Amino acid sequence: MKRLRIGVLASGGGTNLQAIIDSCERGEVDGDVVVVITNVPNAGAVKRAEEHGIEAYCFPHEGASREQHETDVAECLEKHKVDLVCLAGYLRMLTSDMVERFESRILNTHPALLPSFGGKGMHGIHVHKAVLNYGAKVSGCTIHVVTAEVDGGPIVLQKAVPVLEDDTPESLQERILKEEHKLYPRAIQLFAQEKVKIEGRRARIIET
């Protein structure tokens, strides 16, 4: 079976990127991260990519128009013949052009159980603050296909994570991140095995 060619877009330290790279290297994902793109100079993600011999590019969004920036990113992904695009803490919204260009081939991770605690402004630590303020007793993470609607695409996998009475936003974030590091590679492997079938807003996992 052909190995999946994975492109990862990251803005920050890149722990999810690292989890994906490690899972590929351990053979848990039948694929390889072939390119890493960041919009933030000196993002930790670039260093991680280089340590694993993966080509890394930085397209700073400052100074570039939104359209030009995305064209640069899309062309870079296509040049590397990427089958699947994985957002891993990528803090730029994608335009509908980009979403159409890679239709049903862009994944994102959200650190809560969508549709709870998703949508505009809900990223990073803000999500976990909202969960604690709401008083939810269960949170989790969601790996979903990216569509034009923020946090609204078909869900591939979700994992519940308990909220503890003495949790801070940071401790909850850390516990959920550990689960994301396992869940994201599992979702990618489902794509590598061609087991994900998008039907409307549902992602069905089919056993082949």
Residues binding its own copies (CB under 8 A): 113-117, 132-138, 140, 142, 154-160, 165, 201-206
CB of 203 to its own copies, least distance (A): 6
180 CB-side CA count, 13 A: 29
Nearest to 86 by CA among 110, 53, 122: 110
Neighbours of 162 (CB within 10 A): 11
Tell me how far apart the alpha carbons of residues 150 and 146 are, in angstroms, rounded to a whole number: 8
Nearer to its own copies, 41 or 115 (CB): 115
CB of 151 to its own copies, least distance (A): 12
Nearer to its own copies, 42 or 133 (CB): 133
Across the strands, what pairs with 196? Answer: 205
CB of 160 to its own copies, least distance (A): 3
Tell me how far apart the alpha carbons of residues 124 and 173 are, in angstroms, rounded to a whole number: 8
Nearer to its own copies, 43 or 146 (CB): 146
CB of 163 to its own copies, least distance (A): 8
Which is the catalytic residue, given 110, 128, 144, 181?
110
Q: 42 CB contacts (<8 Å, ≥6 apart)? A: none
Q: In whole angstroms, how far apart are CA 11 and each of 46, 51, 92? A: 9, 17, 8
Nearer to its own copies, 36 or 176 (CB): 176
Active site (annotated) includes residue 110: yes
Catalytic residues: 110
